[in-house]
Amino acid sequence: MKILYICDHLDHLKPHKDSSVAMMRAARTLGHEVFSCTTADLQVVAGIALVRCQRLKIFFGTAWFAVESEDLCALHDFDAVIMRTDPPVDTDYLLATQILSVAEANGARVLNRPAALRDCNEKLAILNFPDFIAPTRVTANPQDIDAFLAEHGDIIVKPLTEMGGAGIFRLTATDPNRNAILETLTHHGQRAIMAQRYLPAIAEGDKRILLIDGEVVPWALARIPKAGETRGNLAAGGTARAQALSARDREIAETIAPWAKANGIFLAGLDVIGDCLTEINVTSPTGFQEITAQTGYDVAEAFIRALER
């Protein structure tokens, strides 16, 4: 197969941890051709979605890639187009999904589907599964969040478009910075954010559960917060621990898996704290390398095998 990865600049990827690198290595090991580009390389000419992309040689080691050639190609000439650009889901990101929708109309197979990337906000998607979530409120009004805080006493607030724990705060009624935090996150009452009841089970980790083409990966990656921190995200200094799925983890994952597949979400990363679903990640879910290193279950190979099928 010819597989195109749309991702951040290759020089910015970390070969020891990035799931995109693991995917590319697995693809090359299994005999497939690997190409890459950024969203800035996408274009449309006479109704055909094109990309200026690089054909790559892939290696195992710190120097993990070399560019073989650079060409202008039609997106529908690839067997799979994998959208792996990190959030924020801003105007540039959304415009890229529009070009990818043109590519889909030309016959390209884009994963995850562009419409799914636009429609499935990674924070708001959990509202489709109210039985699995903690008490949650979405609003731009700081007074509404104050009322939610008064009801629950200890809450998490977060923006709807970021990743890696960016912009997440834990608030209590006595926090002296409460008003400033809410003013900043809501842009003085103009932008909706999410508030959720604080879950003490975060001490045991924010579990990442992966879904690949409607199948549940049998291991979760618990991201354990560092001392003095409430965020388990690895980008925020969390420690990764692979572990078997609990009965509740599997219930959540097996309920969401068919919904994800039906909505064109080939790869999803569910975030679960304790017994509660907190996010459904669809832009660039991670955790492949940590799960593989700790369990021997090759997540990247499973991903490529699913592409082959």
Q: Which H, E and C letters describe 186-219, residue by residue?
A: CCCCCCCEEEEECCHHHHHCEEEEEEECCEEEEE
Residue 154 bears catalytic tag: no
Q: Which of 122, 279, 290, 301 is catalytic?
A: 279
Helix, strand, or coil (residue 142): helix
Q: Which of 25, 28, 113, 123 is catalytic?
A: 123
Bridge partners (DSSP) of residue 243 are 220
Residue 2 bears catalytic tag: no
State the CATH class of domain 124-128+201-298: alpha beta
CATH code of the domain made up of 2-118: 3.40.50.20
36-87 pLDDT tens trace? 999 999 999 999 999 999 999 999 989 999 999 999 999 999 999 999 999 9
Pick the CATH number of 135-198 from 2.30.40.10, 3.40.50.300, 3.30.1490.20, 3.40.50.720: 3.30.1490.20
Residue 158 bears catalytic tag: yes
Residue 231 bears catalytic tag: yes
Q: Which of 137, 158, 197, 207 is catalytic?
A: 158
Residue 271 bears catalytic tag: yes
Beta-carbon contacts of residue 293 (< 8 Å; ≥ 6 apart): none
CA–CA dist 120, 260 (Å, integer):
10
93-103 pLDDT tens trace? 999 999 999 99
2-118 and 135-198 have identical folds: no
Residue 279 bears catalytic tag: yes
Residue 226 bears catalytic tag: no
* Domain parsing of the chain, residue ranges: 2-118, 124-128+201-298, 135-198
- Residue 128 pLDDT grade (very low, low, confident, very high; cuts 50, 70, 90): very high
Residue 207 bears catalytic tag: no
Over residues 238-258, mean pLDDT: 96
Q: Which of 104, 206, 271, 301 is catalytic?
A: 271
Q: State the pLDDT at residue 227.
A: 73
